Structure 1
Amino acid sequence: MPARFRDFICTTQEVQLPASFGEASQSQAWNSAMAEELDAMARNGKDEHRIVEIKQTLHEQFTIKDLGAASYYLGLELRRGNDGIRVSQSKFTNDLLEEFQVSQNFRAHTPLGTIKPLHRDSVLFSQPHLFRKLVGKLIYLGFSRTDLSFAVQQLSQFMHAPTEDHWLAATHILQYLRNTSSLGLFFPTRSPLELTGYCDSDWGNCLDTRRSLSGYCVFFGGTWIAWKTKKQQAVSKSSTEAEYRNIVVAISELLWIHYVLESLRVSVPRPIPLYCDNESAITLVADIFTKSLCAPLFLRHCGKLNLEGFACRGM
């Protein structure tokens, strides 16, 4: 094995793998090894001769085949251009539409449409396994389709006992996909390395539990990198509390992404903006350390979070 390649990989062989990210961040040996590994990757990524040498060494040891730049992987289609990389799942979507025999006579323009909120009180669907199969595929499709997050979350609540209304809502999503099968994510080649978050929630719209939904999305340099829709763990007594809980969830995600970027030596400007459309919740976050009445609510929801370096703003 050439000395250069041995130096490139020796750090990961000498350090024991940590059991968790928290353990890794506290290990000086692991941090040093990762720092050396990142430096080696940065050097090798700019040296074409070194890249060829590493590929040849890998081939001698493991018999590999260089397939060139990735274009398709596990249903994800990668298209490269001068302006960036586009990621979509159009083939997976078309196969899904063909599998479930979606009619071409009607095409929806929104994932869920203007139907009433989904709940449990309805006639049970006669083929629950078919519903579970479809929702599972829609969850996988969500890797590149941010617009399906809310709709799929709504359907995922009823996997154990789907009803006829739930099946109609699922087929409505398929009609929407027929009209938008080519949509996906775009990663531009040039964009500012800035983190930005957006969050929003409803208030008690679940007819079964009256719990609210939290939703957020995170942009890095103008590109979606994280998004989620999830039901809150407790019933909120006001829309302000529901939005406040959502802000806490979004800040937790932004903190985690920021720590990951720091470990990769990517500098992110501070403060990190988080946009919310509820003025009461924004005021509550801004004055959390000056108003004693807010202290119990703060400690209950985000007492362990470090809010320094964040700016909550209205939309």
Structure 2
Amino acid sequence: MATDFSDIPRNGEPAITARLFAWGMLGFLFAFLVNNALVVGFGLPGVKPFFNGSATGGSWVNLAVYAASIGVAALYVLGSRSTSLRWDAMKIHHFNIYIIRAMFWAVLLVGIADSAVAFMRVEGILNAMFGDETAKLFNKARWVGPYIHMPLIALGFLIALRSRTLGFTWLALMIVAAELLIVISRFVFSYEQALMGDLVRYWYAALFLFASAYTLFEEGHVRVDVLYAGFGRTTRGFVNAFGSIALGMSTVWVIMAVGFNGKTAIINSPIVNFEISQAGGVGMFIKYQMAAFLGVFAITMLIQFVSYFLEAVADQRDEPGHRDVAPAAH
């Protein structure tokens, strides 16, 4: 079973069309995210004006980002014609795993820190420790987000460079510990705060949304298909390649197109405004991150679908290095 580069031949029969599509999709994704930041953060108009005939200079900047990103992707493919599909697929998968690993570390650190801040805020400990003026800063999500959450998220990405564990097991254990703490505090000490439920929901959302892409790699998603089990490897490869495009990539692109559609979109708006829950100052300031989780889910799933597509095309071509992973129940 091929699970790392040592099991995969680096060179193979050229598959330019499939690789151009795959890397072009990743280039388009990169440009889409950069342009989203330019539109939301810097007020550029995006590429929509090209469709209604009102393009300005800023629109050309957005279009240039797409052209450059897709162009670089095409140059990479044309400059490495002999690279095998499975080698590319594993390279993309490993990059995706780094993102997922970094996000798990980030939510672990932010969850612990923000719940501690929320507890001290509710109990008045912040005032005693830092004074009233400084304590007021901890009541503002627009201060907590940039000065507490963002450094911890950056730290998560740094830790992920050295760590090789995805953190699924540890995060699941932390969820169980948080749930146990709620039960003990509620039924033994008759004490409960909104932050306790916020922490469990925060970690649950991260666990299921971030783990989805790795589950796809391990064929862990359930297939409701009575025919697939009887297909041969090459036929399965064709079905998986087609499904990756028609069902997988199309779905996550819809999520991103809706969620990142300007400053008022359902993902962008909570992030820009550092949105908090209705519990306000007695809960955690992480609602905006839970909106971002949906974006992370879509991004990591798209990257994994690209990897899955390349692997499926390799199966359809019956190339060496096939991963013999048993799919979930049909």
TM-score (norm 2): 0.24
Query: Whose RCO is larger (CA < 8 A, sep 6+)?
Result: 2
Bigger fraction of residues in helix: 2
